[in-house]
A and B are shown apart, each in its own frame.
Chain A
């Protein structure tokens, strides 16, 4: 079987049309980014995120209204995986001060429920933890275990058998877990994952991500400049920049549009972008390699013809290489699980845009450049 066996399309003559298409997409994406804003995950924003898996299917709207009642401000509630998983996210770092008394009295009443009238002393009480002192090691043991089961993070102060102290931590995620476990006694959950990221880490990651993407573009520029001609390197990197921008735009615009697809911007999305940069250059290199070969054989032929010939001859391999890779990414999107979904989605968009730009942007850029400088490109 052969696709595009004897393709003879004059791609370069239609390049103004594709400039229009690309510009439209970029503008749309940039507009989307400005209007909607990039939805950063807690990797970049800082905050807490927990994923819970219930035993039985749950109603997401019900959980949402339940969580809203807690007064923790804006907490995102989404599905995670199937119908039994939820994801809760907030950019708060710790429990708001006005809520602390509520949380603390809750712990008190829980202790009273477990062992009514138990003597106890609070040895330390901050906005992140309360430390209790109980009369006997056994009572400390029981309280620590029962509070833990109720959803609080507890620990005994020391591992010594004589220990009578218990630390109860007051974290956002603990408070959420406690309240949900109380509400859903007949449908218990387990914690799938729990992340807490300080604001500083997020700031650093953001600048690291930008540096990483720019650095990889630079490295490719230098390498291709060295292997081909500078015009080609510029064309390739312009195409990559175009890919990143459009993919980012589509990614941002589609946030929250497709149900079940969590498209927030996390570290793994940055990884997807870097992979996209590294991979999308492949198709461009294949075309350029052919242009170079053609230019060596037909030294006198106009560049436009050589480029057209190269694109036509490499069309089938460009499409098929992208197809095989995209197929595996589709598999990841469908079967790779919740964690990899956004990553796979970014890659799929990126691959499609990347293939398009290898054909219509990178080569057109080289031609445009050569027409402007008037000096003939030669290998």
Chain B
């Protein structure tokens, strides 16, 4: 039995790993069931209390409730993160491919454009629609054909065409990076669960939004221009009294109420007496600045508070609370967002920014961002900075603050320097943000796929049925044809599928409908290895060998055929993975993992069972 031990440990180890990897998926399934049950009662309640509610409004409410339950519970979140993710085709959602409109970009950055330029540009645009070539390369080729130098419209006369072409390509890439940052920023705000934003090739962006129902809204989110604003941060002595008042109103106190007792309060008492400050924790207790930290989950609560009519009443017109775009993570892993109180009216918008560059300041070796404005912006900026020295000015992109540096002195030239970033990456991000406001190229949607949630549900149940039926039919056939040996293969097949799912979860891969097809197909293909071996064993038996010798020879003579055939299938899986997108990649992935896991279980597990049975002296028949 000793020679079996190693393999037995290997199998048990693999099984334990599989269970460990699949447990979160099971947990998540149960959590979702629980949440769905709760939501049903909520829905009924809303329907009875407000019978005239429209379907869309109801859906919105339920969705936001669901989101908040799922994101607020740490256990739910953990399970969700580690479960097998479902592709858009199974859970419903949107898949969008966008492309930077390079032609528009060229048009915008070209100088002294004329009839000839427009003609060549529109021809290049037409050509690019049916060719793989980049608009920039097509454009410069067409220019060369007409014997016009690129420097006539771009760059300076001293540069040659290749230099200019390289720079134009760079600007195109730059536009893509900026667009991605903007999209990411907006999608995060929208609260879509687990969005996926990816750059594809040099100028494409792929966005996956699971569970989005109203596509138009989602697309506006993705396509509109980014709004970059400079807003002055309000002084603490103005804001803190207002915050106190909000706190009092929420606690239900009258203006003259003086029963507030100071001193040590427990957290619960504090939360009761100061509902606002309990969720918006002032960063500076001395009251020199009015910034507060708000935990990720509490942001909804704050906006609910601020929407209350009695609170709205006391809010000054020109006050707005904005959050930092990037959270600070506390020791316990909780995310806190800094909340600023700013002027509602922007001092300046991003259109005036001509350029921004992140850099290392040579004198202090700290990361800085240099920003240049056009002459009009520079004039305004000089006025603003001149009259607000010592105040902070927040840089806000689409409603999210990125930084709020203090104005040191009057900036007359429009060339400003922002410092205080912890590292160069942050500086780089700020550079992107500053440029984003003046996004030069529009982004076109070139592919768009929406899958309704009901089709996704159908697909899941059809996929599940196919897996069960596929298993049954293969299993019954194997037992019917190979008797006891067939049952070994069937047992190994269960193991194969579990292992496959476990590895999918470990890879954080998504399960798609073609992916399920891949699993079903894997079941048919997985037993192939056993069929080859069993047939060979039968053949060896017929030459008069003992069972033990026949099993030995059967396995030995089958290895080369099994490996050769599986490796070629694996190769096509790799090619398919490269070729396909989304669902097809899911298929290729399950196919490849399926090959690996089925070889493992058919060759090692089935062999182990054979050896064990033979060592124990049990009879093994092959039908």
B287 contacts the other chain (CB 8 A) = no
B56 and A145 within 8 A (CB): yes
Find B466's partner among A201, A223, A282, A336 (CB 8 Å cutoff). A336
Contact between A328 and B56, CB atoms less than 8 A apart: no
- A194: chain B residues within 8 A (beta carbon): 215, 448-450, 452
Distance between Cα atoms of A270 and B572 in the complex (Å): 12
Query: Is the pair B520, A332 in contact by a Cβ cutoff of 8 Å?
Result: yes
For chain A, residues 200 to 236, give those with C-beta under 8 angstroms from any C-beta of chain B.
200-201, 203-204, 207-209, 211-212, 215-216, 219-220, 223-224, 227
A277 and B571 CA atoms in complex are apart in Å by: 10
Chain B interface size range:
35 or more
Q: Do A167 and B450 have beta carbons less than 8 Å apart?
A: no
A266-287 CB mask vs B (1 if < 8 Å, else 0) is 0110110011011101110110
Partner of B565, one of A219, A282, A316: A282
| B216: A residues at CB distance < 8 A | 153-155, 167, 169
Number of interface residues of A (CB under 8 A): 81
Taking CB atoms, residues of chain A closer than 8 Å to B446 are 197-198, 200-201
**Interface of B, helix, strand, loop or mixed by DSSP:** helix
Cα distance A190–B55 when bound, in Å?
13
Q: Which residue of A lies closest to B557 (CB)?
A: A293
Kindly state whether residue A195 has any CB partner on chain B within 8 Å: yes
Shortest distance from the beta carbon of A325 to any chain B beta carbon, whole Å: 3
Known A200-B446, A204-B132, A317-B532; contact A278-B571, beta-carbon cutoff 8 A: yes
| Complex interface residues of chain B between 456 and 480 (CB less than 8 A to chain A) | 458-459, 462-463, 465-466, 469-470, 473-474, 477-478, 480
CB-CB under 8 A from B536, the residues of chain A are 317
Whether A20 is near chain B, meaning CB under 8 Å from some CB there, is: no
Asked if A305 is an interface residue, CB under 8 A from chain B, the answer is: no
Tell yes or no: B451 within 8 A of A by CB.
yes
Kindly state the separation between the CA atoms of A100 and B463 in the bound complex, as whole angstroms.
42
Q: Could you say which residues of chain B place their CB within 8 Å of the CB of A149?
A: 54-56
B3 in the interface (beta carbon within 8 A): no
Pairwise interchain contact B524-A192, C-beta atoms closer than 8 A: no
Asked whether B462 lies within 8 Å of A324 as measured between CB atoms, the reply is no
Contacting residue for B525 out of A156, A325, A332, A336, CB 8 A? A325
Instruction: Please tell me if the beta carbons of A155 and B217 are within 8 angstroms of each other in the complex.
Output: yes
Pair count A-B, CB < 8 A: 239
* Binary flags per residue of B118-150, CB closer than 8 Å to A gives 1, else 0: 000000000001101000000000000000000
B467 to chain A, nearest CB (A): 9
Q: Nearest chain-B residue to A222 (Cβ)?
A: B571
Interface pair B579/A285, CB less than 8 Å apart: no
**Are the CB atoms of B449 and A278 closer together than 8 Å?**
no
Complex interface: stretch among B159-167, B373-381, B415-423, B581-589 = B581-589
Binds B, one of A33-41, A56-64, A113-121, A339-347: A339-347
Question: From A344, which residue of chain B is reached at the shortest CB distance?
Answer: B517
Report whether A148 and B214 are in contact in the complex, using a CB–CB cutoff of 8 Å.
yes
Query: A51 near B: Cβ within 8 Å?
Result: yes
Are A216 and B575 neighbours in the complex by a CB distance under 8 Å?
A: yes
Provide the bound-state CA to CA distance between A192 and B456, in Å: 8
* Contact status A329-B462, CB under 8 Å: no
Q: Would B455 and A331 count as touching, CB distance under 8 A?
A: no
- Neighbouring A residues of B132 by C-beta, 8 Å: 204, 207
Residue-wise, chain A 307-344 has the 8 Å CB interface mask toward B (1 for contact) of 00000011011001101111111011001110110011
Instruction: Please provide the chain B residues from 529 to 579 with a CB less than 8 Å away from any CB of chain A in the complex.
Output: 531-532, 535-536, 538-539, 557, 560-561, 564-573, 575-576, 578-579
* Residue from B445, B450, B568, B581 in contact with A191 in the complex, judged by beta carbons closer than 8 Å: B450
Say whether A324 contacts B571, CB under 8 Å.
no
By a CB distance below 8 angstroms, the chain B residues around A207 are 132
Which of B455, B466, B578, B580 is A271 in contact with, Cβ under 8 Å? B580
- Confirm or deny: B400 has a beta carbon within 8 angstroms of a beta carbon on chain A: no
Find chain B residues with CB under 8 A from A372 CB: none
B579 engages A2 (CB within 8 Å): no
CB distance from A228 to the nearest CB of B (A): 8
Say yes or no: is B591 at the interface (Cβ < 8 Å to chain A): yes
- Among candidates A267, A332, A339, residue contacting B584 with C-beta atoms closer than 8 Å: A267
Residues of A in contact with B (beta carbons under 8 Å apart): 1-2, 51, 53, 81, 145, 148-149, 153-157, 167, 169, 190-201, 203-204, 207-209, 211-212, 215-216, 219-220, 223-224, 227, 267-268, 270-271, 274-275, 277-279, 281-283, 285-286, 289-290, 293, 313-314, 316-317, 320-321, 323-329, 331-332, 335-337, 339-340, 343-344, 347
28 sampled A-B residue pairs with Cβ under 8 A: A51-B455, A155-B217, A157-B220, A191-B450, A193-B450, A194-B448, A195-B450, A196-B448, A197-B447, A197-B448, A207-B132, A267-B584, A271-B584, A271-B587, A281-B568, A282-B528, A282-B568, A285-B565, A290-B561, A317-B532, A324-B474, A324-B525, A325-B528, A327-B477, A331-B469, A331-B473, A335-B469, A336-B466
Which residues of B are interface residues toward A (Cβ below 8 A)? 54-57, 89, 97, 129-130, 132, 214-217, 219-220, 444-452, 454-455, 458-459, 462-463, 465-466, 469-470, 473-474, 477-478, 480-481, 513-514, 516-517, 520-521, 523-525, 527-528, 531-532, 535-536, 538-539, 557, 560-561, 564-573, 575-576, 578-581, 583-584, 587-588, 591, 623
- 6 A-B pairs besides A194-B448, A321-B528, A344-B517 with CB distance below 8 A are A149-B56, A191-B452, A201-B97, A227-B564, A282-B525, A324-B524
